[in-house]
A and B are shown apart, each in its own frame.
Chain A
């Protein structure tokens, strides 16, 4: 049962990874990475890392991927061709692109062979087995309580450094993505100050340039006066 689940999850992991590398639209790349992450969480569960699998699903496939989707929607979908469209060089980079792709595939294949030799050809007997016995006991291995206990006792310094790194990254993200340049003055112009109430109505509008602003202001003031007078009259009439 566990080996069937392993093969299904491993196929999902590798398919998602191939999709991220191959697909052209960045939005589909993000969706392929979500499939990859969910399958990877299944592999983590098979390795008895429950808490890490839960964190993987909640933090990665939940929060980080939503951030990616937002930025893809903001920046725009057609990823690879934006630069070519801007500079009018559509199709001009064909041979260079294919050579780069071939070189990348060769480097990747070399890296894979080297990693497989380094990981599997070491002659370690332990990697052929199913793992050593659980040192904290089979019921507590990988549970949130066990991870929390490790984080707050043996790995307290690591925990604090990671939290400080998150703080720095949050501040850096706000600094990088803030609005900058020229927009502040426009915002100030819209603010109403007490001095604006003293100016005549229509100052700075087109009506003032044509010469109709004083008349407009006069008419509005008289209209306001009349309505208030009529209101007063109506009020007294009602009282009488």
Chain B
């Protein structure tokens, strides 16, 4: 398949992730939708890496995966801290940043 098909799939995945980030209210699912957006970007990076025939895009995709792992670590830590302090697990209820 030509590179354009992969780019179309990555655009669809990115848009689905954006819709999820806008509509969902559970922070856990919000993080999952953020992963969807990062994966769409990853697919585009790898497709462009194949288009150029060198490995720069793959290195960038690996770095994006590292950033995603860090984001998951911090985000899940925050959710566990929210749960421990008896706050509602709902991004609409969490309007204040003061603990």
Contact = CB atoms under 8 A, between A and B. Distances in A.
Contacts, number: 255
B19 A150 contact: no
Interface in A32-86: 33, 36-37, 40, 43-44, 46-49, 51-52, 55-56, 59-60, 63-64, 67-68, 71-72, 74-76, 79-80, 82-83, 86
A125 to B, nearest CB: 11
Given A56-B65, A131-B53, A2 B16 contact: no
Contacts of B59: 147, 150-151, 155, 158
A36 to B, nearest CB: 7
A74 B8 contact: no
Contact of B11 (A18, A116, A126): A116
Contact of B18 (A52, A64, A108, A174): A108
B8 A13 contact: no
A133 B68 CA distance: 31
A240 to B, nearest CB: 67
A168 B67 CA distance: 11
Per DSSP, chain B at the interface is helix
A215 interface: no
Band of interface residues on B: 35 or more
A195 interface: no
B52 A21 contact: no
Contacts of A56: 65
Interface stretch (A99-107, A184-192, A197-205): A99-107
Given A52-B62, A64-B72, A128-B3, A17 B36 contact: yes
B58 A49 contact: yes
Contacts of B4: 119-120, 127-128
Contacts of B84: 179
10 contacts: A10-B5, A21-B19, A55-B62, A59-B65, A68-B76, A83-B88, A100-B22, A108-B16, A129-B51, A131-B3
